[in-house]
Structure 1
Amino acid sequence: MADGNSPNERWYSTAELAGRPGMPTSERGVRKAAANQGWKYIARKDQGGGKLFALSSLPQVTQVALAKPLLELPDHVRDVVEERALEERAAWETYRRSPESLRLAADRRAGVLRSVRALRRNGTSLMTARQLVAAAESADGHPISAATIARWESDVKGYPSAHWPALLIPRYTGRVSVADIEPEAWEIFKADYLRPEQPTMAACYNRLLRIAAQRGWTLPSLKTFQRRVKDLPNTVVVLKRQGADALSDIIPSQRRDKSSLHAMEMVNADGHKFDVFVRWPDGTIARPILLGVQDMYSGKLLAYRVASTESTQLVQLAFRDLVERYGIPRKVLLDNGRAFASKSNTGGTPNRFRFTVKEEDPKGLLVRLGCDVIWATPYHGQAKPIERAWRDLCETIAKSVDFSGAYTGNKPDAKPENYQSAAVDLDTFVSVLEREVTLHNARTGRRSAVARGRSFDQVFAESYAVSPIVKATGAQLADLLLSTKLRKLSSRDGSLTLFGNRYWSSEMVEFLGMQVHARFDPDHLDRPVQIYSVTGTWMVEAPLLSDTPVLSEEGAQQIARARRQLRHATRKMADAEIKLTVAQVAAMQPDAPQPDAPVSNVVAPFAMRRHAAVVPLQRTGTDDAPIEDDLSEIYAQMAANADRANSWNYDDEN
């Protein structure tokens, strides 16, 4: 801040500078230029405050324009003119900030002086003119004296009549005498009163009386302290007694214009725990979490999922429903809860509130989809428009007649008389939720700037029909299925068994017995399962293979039809793959080559081996003799032949 006592410096308010050469046309623009360029200033000491900027710190063009009317005047005259200019500005600031009743009184006083001046111009003496005008004013119910008029004339002497109302503003403000308070006692009182426990002034005063008795102070009444507290800045009182959040509430909340958006350009998501006891399939009783995604433009609740706890998986499944039904949003407004800010969802976003941001982090799901992630202010519900929808649904769902006895109350000290007397099944809760969300989106009479009495459904449908919407591919939708199981495909037909269900497609016969990752929607097991390799490569989509009744002819026909189609397609594939017949391949086989006869270069002499004559076996007995006798005779002859053969040797070559 500059020194305000510089003898040759001149100071100007934003109102005086606006529109001058080299200056913006508005006071706001002047303040912005002053902040950007660092102009010297002093704080105004009159009512209303503000800043006065030094002429020497202004742009040169502005300095010349402001100083030019005073350049030809003598120094003492120029000083008087500048002093009066400052007084006029201060007087008009006081006039502007004064109550309406005081401004009317100042205008009436200026009118009185103008009447006196008019009589003087007509030749009436000064005293007579004052008396005549005073009598007329008294007759109108505003009694004044000639002496009062004389005092007013003294207040505006030397000033143009245009400035009279500002100079004649009544200066009285009621009681002006204030009892003295011991400075240390006042500091003790402020320290006691300005604390988060918010004690009453009377309690603080009573404690101060005990201290004053020990120190010999004489304190004024409690009323005096109450008046002094009113002189404290209200922002300081709110901050110290109510906290920073209450201080923020003093500033008006933003009202955002959504007319510049279109459907699916921006969505916001949040979770809400309903005040209803729900019985889950495993028998536990707990309050359900609803995770919803809302269109920012129309206010329509586009997708939601229900679970017992808020999790990363729940967020991804809700966004899968959104992307599958309506497309990929351009921008996503999220809070900093762990489920939303997890790396699986928002990894790669440089300004996450949670977890350490590392350059090597894998891209989260929303980042891979190409969405710009915007973070709402933590612990500030007004930053998320979906909070307004939760307030509506709390009335229509949590307090629904379908849930009588299951309502928990919205806070510990607001439990209903029938608290914990019932719990609703999950299916019942979901059915009521679907009904109420549908009615919430379809209800007409919405008062937003884009709705103009229409429903969220109507606003969304109108914009959605003419807006550029990015649709997701099958691979992107498959990427949104988080739940994964490691399974082995059947070695017989390639089918996948999951939770007792079978999933199969004809392409799976190429992967018999293979270990795979099955990604699926746990809330919709009737939907196809995405099959990935263990390395993360997508392989095939497998629809549900439904069981058929024993006597169902249609089921048997479907299986037979599928088999015929498979055989037909396989034959076509085989025909496309095999270009030659077996006969053609056989005809291409060459004849077997004939080997060359070997040539012998060494010849050995041939020697005949002589063998003993073998006596033929003869039966010597009669036909009537027993067969055993014949066998004995045969064995004897065979032995004799063997002896003869052994008695011969090869001849010597010599």
Structure 2
Amino acid sequence: MPFWLSWAVWSAPVKKLGARPAISSGCSGVTMLNWLTAQHLVGLPGMPTTVQGVNARAKREGWEAQLRLGRGGGQEYSFAVLPKETQTALLMREVAQQEPAPAQQLQQPGAAQVVNSPKRDAYTESRLNDDQRSVMAARMVLIREIERMSKVVSQQRAIDTLVGLARTGSLSPYLAERAERANDRKNADRALSERTLKRWLADYRKHGEIALAPARRKPNMSVPVWAADFLKHYQRPQKPSAQAAYLAFQREYPGAPSLHAVQRFLAKLSPQAREMGRMGPREAKALLPYNKRLTDHMWPNDVWVADGHKFDAEVINPNSGQIFRPEVTSIIDWATRRIVGFAINVAESTLATLDALHSGISRVGMFRVFYVDNGSGFANDTIREVVERLGGEMTHSLPYNSQARGVIERAHRTIMVRLAKDFDSYIGADMDGEAGNKVHRISRADLKKGSQPRHIPTLNEFYERLAIALDEYNHSPHRGLTKIRDSETGRFRHPSPMEAWRRAEAEGFAALQPSTELSMLLVRPQDLRRTHRGLVRTNGANYFLQDLVPLHGDQVRVAWDYRDASKVAVFTLDGDLIGQAILDGNASDAMPRIVKDQDRRVSGQLAKLVQKGKTLTGKDVELRVIERPAEDDRFQQHLLEAEKFVALAHEPEADALEAPDNEMTRYDRWQQLDSRQRLGEALSDDEARWHASYPNHPDFKSIQRMYDHFEAEQARA
């Protein structure tokens, strides 16, 4: 067909009712998706649920349509004007319903011809690409020039003049450039013709400016008959390449199309349709849109999000002396992004969750919603009972939906992964293999010798550095929080979680503080045990309480804390507190402690040395023996580390000293005791012990750093 004739067929509107432009598939047996009725579109993603709704939307948005041939009449709508999600659903449905065909019937799909819509309006202009808009604007310039010239001469004379100037190259540079662009040809012949200009004028006067836009070849969205057979080899969880899947497909069907035809077909599919079967439900969510959750309406403590994270560095366990990877259970406040509590354990467990809850409640007060996954450390009756008794609500995210708790997942990457890389014992995926193997060999060799493994931090060191990292996170700007204007620079910036928390307090938020007894009783796990002559046995250890002697053989409830095994709380079955049972509280030395004969001889020799020194100097001489622990005494070393870790992790018990249950109040109480001591006032034994031990607590160090930072800022101001 000559070019001018094909162009006429291409651009001419459909004038006769019932006439349907030809669409050639080039291959019988190919399912066509170029034109679809409203019945085909009802209920699909992005489509209304009724035929009337589909037709109303098509009319409102000016979809490209044509009259339907055959019985029933009605209109058909072009596949190309449908929303992307509807196109994806149609393709996926066609692929799923396609039946395998014999190899001898496989043919290449042809290209569909382009059909213009008889209806042109502002809605269709929004679907033009930049190239079509450019050509349309150039043709409009030429039409305006003809209209301007027609004011003084006839339209025919104006057209002849414009064509003649274009043929001789006498047009102005501006019009010459527009004439070349308006022709929209790739060959060298870009001159204007009378017929072309008249056709543009007729289209413009009939359908408006949009009629000047050139039609573009639409993609062939048909699904070939061999698609299902090929996708059977391609859409597998092993994720074979297109070439590997094609080779397997070709062996079954000798008449299969070429590899390039298969690759072109894959390129037409959306990522969701193409990766079906190659990705599981969890992995496929990365291709789907996500729902951004806003927290502007939340107050602090409205929603706590908790999760466990296996630390990517090895640590020494002080109890066993072995190397392990600790599990860090952390809780974040969703509204302010503040880490409110955390716990360390061997694995995600109920104990770790209880400890993290106690840590958060004692710091910032009560919560409303506890949002967790379905892990064994959260989805159990013990945690649910504790949350309900605290007055909160427990909510679980859907399985394989870690994106729903992205706020805590992102915090883990920011805090835990960054901290793990600071240790020589880091074993993450991006750790250098040679360096990692070297650390592993050295540490295991040291452990086999019975000495302290090199390059492996103790649990105490890890605990201290984790507390510092969490504190730095809470005081660092967070991009998930709404920007505020800086009072010093006047610029907008992201606040830190602590700034967001204080701002909420300034706006009227007040945390609900539980009683110390309630929080301690609820978060401590309780077991039913029988007494035996004043003893109760739990977790492999015996605890003694004199008040249990009259209850010999009765059942009691024992509340214990895995981080302080020195005592347990004992209650009746009705919940009345009996007292604190002490670990091996009934134990005593088998015989009175006496000085051995060898010690007596040593003491005698030392006395003689003192007497000899007095004889030589004529003055009193004092002799002291300094005992040093053996370097290989691993048991003593681990015992000291465990005692230090317990001292950092716990406050003194309330029965020794009524210590406040708020960190700021405790810090103020310590300052009062310190002032009394500096003034020479004597402290009681309990006050002196608490005054000496509290500076080792992480809260004390954190508050002191806060005051030091504030004083430095004041000094700079």
Q: Which TM-score band (shorter chain)? A: 0.5 to 0.7
What one-letter code is carried by the residue in structure 1 that aligns with 2:515? Answer: T
**Matches of 2:76 and 2:307, distance apart in 1:** 46
2:306 counterpart of 1:269: yes
Aligned partners of 2:312 and 2:417 also within 8 Å: no
Aligned equivalent of 1:479: 522
Aligned partners of 2:38 and 2:54 also within 8 Å: no
**Matches of 1:115 and 1:194, distance apart in 2:** 57
Distance 1:127 1:469, change over 3 A: same
Q: If the length of structure 1 is used for normalisation, what is the TM-score?
A: 0.59
Q: Larger radius of gyration, structure 1 or 2? A: 1
Aligned equivalent of 1:88: 119
What one-letter code is carried by the residue in structure 1 that aligns with 2:571? Answer: Y
Question: Which structure has more RCO (C-alpha within 8 Å, separation ≥ 6)?
Answer: 2
Deviation at 1:171, TM superposition (A): 1.5
Deviation at 1:114, TM superposition (A): 3.5
Structure 1 residues without counterparts, runs of 5 or longer: 19-26, 28-40, 52-84, 347-363, 547-552, 559-654
2:346 to 297, 301, 308: 308
Aligned equivalent of 1:257: 294
Question: 1:45-64, aligned counterparts within 5 Å?
Answer: 45=78, 47-49=80-82
Deviation at 1:123, TM superposition (A): 3.7
2:571 counterpart of 1:532: yes
Distance 1:248 1:11, change over 3 A: closer
Aligned partners of 2:139 and 2:179 also within 8 Å: no
Residue range with higher mean Cα deviation, 320-329 or 462-471: 462-471
2:206 counterpart of 1:158: yes
Distance 1:470 1:193, change over 3 A: same
Aligned equivalent of 1:193: 234
Percentage of identical aligned residues: 21
Aligned equivalent of 2:496: 455
Deviation at 1:322, TM superposition (A): 1.6
What one-letter code is carried by the residue in structure 2 that aligns with 1:517? Answer: R
**Matches of 2:156 and 2:284, distance apart in 1:** 57
Summarize deviations over 1:393-440 as a string: whole Å, max 9, x none.
Answer: 23332122xx32x22224899682434243332222212222222222
3-state SS in 2 of match to 1:418? helix
Number of matched residues? 456
What one-letter code is carried by the residue in structure 1 that aligns with 2:335? Answer: Y
Distance 1:518 1:229, change over 3 A: closer
2:407 counterpart of 1:407: no
Distance 1:464 1:272, change over 3 A: farther
3-state SS in 2 of match to 1:338? coil
Distance 1:10 1:209, change over 3 A: closer
**Matches of 1:557 and 1:140, distance apart in 2:** 93
2:413 to 386, 391, 409: 391
Deviation at 1:107, TM superposition (A): 2.3
**Matches of 2:341 and 2:279, distance apart in 1:** 38
**Matches of 2:390 and 2:227, distance apart in 1:** 62
**Matches of 2:279 and 2:349, distance apart in 1:** 34
1:171 to 206, 210, 215: 215
Aligned equivalent of 1:366: 387
**Matches of 1:284 and 1:238, distance apart in 2:** 45
What one-letter code is carried by the residue in structure 2 that aligns with 1:481? Answer: R
Aligned partners of 1:264 and 1:464 also within 8 Å: no
3-state SS in 2 of match to 1:472? coil
**Matches of 1:512 and 1:248, distance apart in 2:** 59
2:470 counterpart of 1:437: yes
Aligned equivalent of 2:147: 117
What one-letter code is carried by the residue in structure 2 that aligns with 1:239? Answer: M
Distance 1:86 1:212, change over 3 A: closer
3-state SS in 1 of match to 2:394? strand
Aligned equivalent of 1:606: none
Aligned partners of 2:132 and 2:213 also within 8 Å: yes
Deviation at 1:270, TM superposition (A): 0.5
Summarize deviations over 1:365-419 as a string: whole Å, max 9, x none.
Answer: 112222122222322332211111111223332122xx32x22224899682434
Summarize deviations over 1:572-624 as a string: whole Å, max 9, x none.
Answer: xxxxxxxxxxxxxxxxxxxxxxxxxxxxxxxxxxxxxxxxxxxxxxxxxxxxx
3-state SS in 1 of match to 2:332? strand
3-state SS in 2 of match to 1:268? strand
What one-letter code is carried by the residue in structure 2 that aligns with 1:150? Answer: K
Deviation at 1:303, TM superposition (A): 0.8
Distance 1:270 1:220, change over 3 A: closer
Aligned equivalent of 2:327: 289
Aligned equivalent of 2:129: 99
Summarize deviations over 1:221-257 as a string: whole Å, max 9, x none.
Answer: 4333322332334421022333444543233333322
**Matches of 1:518 and 1:140, distance apart in 2:** 92
Summarize deviations over 1:92-137 as a string: whole Å, max 9, x none.
Answer: 5543223212212112223322332343354423253364277347
**Matches of 1:198 and 1:93, distance apart in 2:** 41
What one-letter code is carried by the residue in structure 1 that aligns with 2:428? Answer: G
Summarize deviations over 1:73-99 as a string: whole Å, max 9, x none.
Answer: xxxxxxxxxxxx98335x655432232
Residue range with higher mean Cα deviation, 294-303 or 475-484: 475-484
**Matches of 1:395 and 1:3, distance apart in 2:** 53
What one-letter code is carried by the residue in structure 2 that aligns with 1:531? Answer: V
Distance 1:318 1:94, change over 3 A: same
Deviation at 1:334, TM superposition (A): 0.7
Summarize deviations over 1:166-196 as a string: whole Å, max 9, x none.
Answer: 222221349x999x99x65555334333333
What one-letter code is carried by the residue in structure 2 that aligns with 1:457? Answer: M
Aligned partners of 2:332 and 2:341 also within 8 Å: yes
Aligned partners of 1:266 and 1:333 also within 8 Å: yes
Aligned partners of 1:48 and 1:93 also within 8 Å: no
Distance 1:424 1:177, change over 3 A: closer
Aligned partners of 1:441 and 1:456 also within 8 Å: yes
2:243 counterpart of 1:202: yes
Deviation at 1:292, TM superposition (A): 0.9
**Matches of 1:381 and 1:244, distance apart in 2:** 12
Aligned partners of 1:446 and 1:456 also within 8 Å: no
Aligned partners of 2:526 and 2:557 also within 8 Å: no
Distance 1:522 1:123, change over 3 A: same
3-state SS in 1 of match to 2:206? coil
Deviation at 1:210, TM superposition (A): 4.6
**Matches of 1:262 and 1:207, distance apart in 2:** 58
What one-letter code is carried by the residue in structure 2 that aligns with 1:409? Answer: G
Aligned partners of 1:3 and 1:42 also within 8 Å: no
1:345 to 360, 380, 383: 383
CA RMSD of aligned residues (A): 4.5
Summarize deviations over 1:243-284 as a string: whole Å, max 9, x none.
Answer: 444543233333322221121111100001102222221233
3-state SS in 1 of match to 2:473? helix
**Matches of 2:469 and 2:383, distance apart in 1:** 29
**Matches of 2:79 and 2:157, distance apart in 1:** 34
Aligned equivalent of 2:369: 331
What one-letter code is carried by the residue in structure 2 that aligns with 1:200? Answer: S
**Matches of 1:43 and 1:419, distance apart in 2:** 70
2:267 counterpart of 1:230: yes
Aligned equivalent of 1:63: none
What one-letter code is carried by the residue in structure 2 that aligns with 1:470? Answer: L
3-state SS in 1 of match to 2:132? helix
Aligned partners of 1:483 and 1:521 also within 8 Å: no
Distance 1:221 1:284, change over 3 A: same
